[in-house]
C-alpha cells in the first residue's frame, strides 16, 4: 500500500530506472483514492536472490521518497 497516486507512480518509476525492476502502480479508478498500491506478481522463476534484491530496492526507494511500510501498517 502506498496511499498516494503520485507517490505510487514515482516509486514505480524509481524502481524501474535505477534498479531495472518493474512493479505496476495501481491507482484510481482501479482502486479507491487513498488506496493506491504497487502490484507484485511473483512467479516460479523469481529466485530468493531476486526477491532479496527487490526488498533492498524497495527499502532504498522508500527511504529516498519518504515512504515507509510502518506508516501504512499503523
| pLDDT digits 0-9 by tens, 19-74 | 999 999 999 999 999 999 999 999 999 999 999 999 999 999 999 998 876 655 44
Domain regions of the chain by residue span? 5-73
- 23 by Cβ neighbours in 10 Å (0-12 / 13-18 / 19+) ranks as buried
What is the DSSP track for the chain? ----HHHHHHHHHHHHTTT----EEE-TTTS-TT--EEE----TT--HHHHHHHHHHHHHHHHHHT--HHHHH-
Tell me the mean pLDDT in the region 1-17: 95
CATH code of domain 5-73: 3.90.1150.10
Q: What is the pLDDT of residue 15?
A: 96
Tell me the mean pLDDT in the region 5-30: 95
Write out the three cell numbers for 36: 493506491
Q: What is the pLDDT of residue 72?
A: 54
Q: Look at strands 37-39 and 24-26 and give their pairing.
A: antiparallel
Amino acid at each position: 500500500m502506498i496511499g498516494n497516486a503520485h507517490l505510487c507512480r514515482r516509486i514505480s518509476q524509481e524502481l524501474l530506472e535505477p534498479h531495472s525492476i518493474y512493479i505496476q502502480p495501481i491507482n484510481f479508478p482501479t482502486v479507491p483514492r487513498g488506496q493506491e498500491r504497487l502490484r507484485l506478481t511473483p512467479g516460479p522463476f523469481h529466485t530468493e536472490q531476486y526477491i532479496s534484491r527487490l526488498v533492498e530496492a524497495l527499502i532504498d526507494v522508500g527511504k529516498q521518497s519518504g515512504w515507509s511500510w510502518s506508516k501504512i501498517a499503523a
